[in-house]
Copies of this chain bind each other. A is one copy, B any other.
Amino acid sequence: MQNIVERLLNGDRRALARMVTLIESETPQVQHYLAELHQHAGKAHIIGVTGSPGAGKSTLVTQLVRELRKREHKVGVIAVDPTSPFTGGAILGDRIRMMELAGDPNVFIRSMASRGSLGGLAASTRDVVRAMDAASYDPIIIETVGTGQAEVEVMRTAQTVLVVCAPGMGDEVQAIKAGILEIADIFVVSKMDRPGADQTVAELAMLLSLDQNRRQAQWRIPIIKTSALKAQGLNQLADAIQQHGNYLRESGMLAQRAQRQVRSEIQTLILHGVSNALKAQVSEEEWNALIEEVTARQRNPYSVAQELLERIGLHRPSDK
């Protein structure tokens, strides 16, 4: 029997599915597998798709996958829901629609929901990308349900971020102002057949023209109209994604971003290690007792932190 890593690398879908489950369950030994997979990853173009609920992201992703399949790509999709595992009927419906693609052996779809921490979901998503990447899926699409802080966190893994807006939602462009603009590489106005689509495009163009940083950037964010009804705009969208990928490679941005991500990943892993060491050393009862002493002013937070650092074995830095 072959090792799970070898089977995954040889394109065994069940091995990949199993690996994703191991990642999600945070089995300790999964790091050994991921360390091996890391050697074989780094080839895929990672595309993020975000936007407010109701913007039509899942439908867009479904059609984008079809377009990419025409171009003979082997496509991975990760649908990330930071809030809840499949509570909303609408979301479930969308995902079921997406599952129609799953009959295709060259499409691999996986949903992920938040179990623990926000940072945990971003880390798991990164690891699932790594597994799909090693299994030769390229591109890999990460779709999130909303536009909150958790989604922005998850989107950091992506190389090309699509922000999807539907016309006539009123707050759409307003919502974009609130932080998502910095991470957008391509704007998609979905449901172009709806009234108000041109106005949404105009508002987005205005928003971009007002943004000093964006005006100075080399990459000019395209605004692409799509229609799921008429299957329009998908060709242009797939082209724009590819152009952005080329831009990232040629400008050296891809390498820069990869370096930033590696640094951030190592730091996250270290903090995770510290957090585990603390959990192993300090029981919940002891935490409560320590907190009680500090709130009662019998101890202070600085000495408690120092004591815990020593307990987990940390060398003191050159602080006399």
B residues near A259, Cβ cutoff 8 Å: 291-292, 295
- Would you give the shortest CB distance from A27 to chain B, in whole angstroms? 11
The reply to whether the CB of A305 lies closer than 8 angstroms to some CB of chain B is yes
Complex-state Cα separation, A294 to B290, whole angstroms = 39
The reply to whether the CB of A304 lies closer than 8 angstroms to some CB of chain B is yes
- Evaluate contact between A28 and B300: CB separation under 8 angstroms: no
The reply to whether the CB of A92 lies closer than 8 angstroms to some CB of chain B is no
Given known pairs A297-B42, A302-B34, A312-B315, the reply for A274 and B280 (CB within 8 Å) is no
Tell me the number of copies of this protein: 2
B residues near A314, Cβ cutoff 8 Å: 273-274, 277, 312-314
Complex-state Cα separation, A308 to B274, whole angstroms = 11
What are some 22 contacts across the A-B interface (CB < 8 A)? A28-B320, A35-B300, A36-B300, A38-B297, A42-B295, A149-B149, A174-B174, A178-B178, A258-B295, A262-B294, A266-B291, A266-B305, A269-B302, A269-B305, A270-B278, A270-B308, A276-B319, A277-B314, A279-B317, A280-B318, A313-B314, A313-B315
Chain B residue, CB-CB nearest to A42? B297
B residues near A38, Cβ cutoff 8 Å: 294, 297, 300-302
Given known pairs A35-B300, A302-B31, A305-B273, the reply for A266 and B290 (CB within 8 Å) is yes
B residues near A253, Cβ cutoff 8 Å: none
Most chain B CB neighbours (cut-off 10 Å) among A259, A292, A301, A304: A301
- Evaluate contact between B178 and A270: CB separation under 8 angstroms: no
B residues near A41, Cβ cutoff 8 Å: 297
- Would you give the shortest CB distance from A262 to chain B, in whole angstroms? 5
B residues near A292, Cβ cutoff 8 Å: 259
Add 14 more A-B contacts to A38-B300, A255-B295 (CB < 8 A).
A34-B300, A35-B300, A38-B301, A171-B174, A174-B174, A262-B301, A266-B294, A266-B305, A266-B308, A270-B308, A273-B305, A274-B274, A313-B315, A314-B314
- Evaluate contact between B266 and A270: CB separation under 8 angstroms: no
The reply to whether the CB of A309 lies closer than 8 angstroms to some CB of chain B is yes
Chain B residue, CB-CB nearest to A276? B317
B residues near A36, Cβ cutoff 8 Å: 300
B residues near A320, Cβ cutoff 8 Å: 28
- Evaluate contact between B171 and A317: CB separation under 8 angstroms: no
Chain B residue, CB-CB nearest to A287? B263
Complex-state Cα separation, A312 to B297, whole angstroms = 31
B residues near A303, Cβ cutoff 8 Å: 35
